[in-house]
Structure 1
């Protein structure tokens, strides 16, 4: 009996309390399964980003050397190299800017319109013609705010100079069927409105024969400017 008791004690007593635990296996972690849709979306975003970078690089690399305006140039002024600069830009095909290779072709020509610094120079903005042609004279016409047409006056636009009675000298007995005296002209340049008064000066090219008459009408305050028909009739 005593022998059996010792066996039980050895099995359930001290040896059980002093038992050394073996190595513990780490918990198993199952790998997350990636959904095919997420993978496809990720690949699409990467591809789109790469395409965007490619387009940007293509645009940056596809630049054109063009002529720019670096100083104020008035209508009719002869262009010099000091008036022009160069720039490399991503040019819209719709813009007909002068290329730097053609710079010499515009130097020495006249500005057909007023040119402002910072703008690109277009071939339509220069001309080989004189602003005032042979057989013409330039007449400055002063217009008060109420006499200025709502339509912008631009260089090259055809106008008529009309003789009207000066203020306070109207002939009330004049027959209404008498045709007004008119002079045909062409707008060369228009000034900005004068501070305070809003008056504008329009340079009008007329024939050399009509120029002196237009000056007399202007001096007497008996001249008005009207727009001619688009076809000049």
Structure 2
């Protein structure tokens, strides 16, 4: 039975969860942040080596200023409160995306969180913030060119580009989950998800339970993964 080494989740539905309860969007995002802890713990207990979460996309800056500000405050609070627990539970935290748009205080907090958990090996949690799959491929190509200034693009290979992606430390995604009832990947890890199995659920993110996670993993175990070949592996 196959088991996913790398699970990625598009955490969709926080605002709708709040709206159904006549709450402001900020409370939906706060409920979603609490759910993260449960899912990280569940993945760790199940033996998932890598978990990647889509926290804030490059497109999310288009949301109302008040909501963006609330999200930034929640993100900082999450980092401040959760890192000690992550460290105690063997969680290695990686934060990927274009960090240049965040405040200096936020960037410093992100750097310290990564450094504090750098030696942990139980599970690697990647939180994607101000991240986009297209951005990732462009920055990887630019990084390759910078590292190889005397070569032209004809020398660029898939392996070379992959080594400069923001998640080069992780294997490609095996199982990509999206909550909230939508059936698209919304510019999330486009390269890394090339052969991912896609699991869509109507559960809004704050309602996505460890039991539903296990259901997705069991579904994945039954998939016939051929990676373009004509015979099952």
TM-score normalised to the size of structure 1? 0.19
Give the structure with the higher percent strand.
1
Q: Specify which structure has the bigger relative contact order, considering alpha-carbon pairs within 8 angstroms and separated by 6 or more residues.
A: 2
Give the structure with the higher percent helix.
2
Q: Which one has a bigger Cα radius of gyration?
A: 1
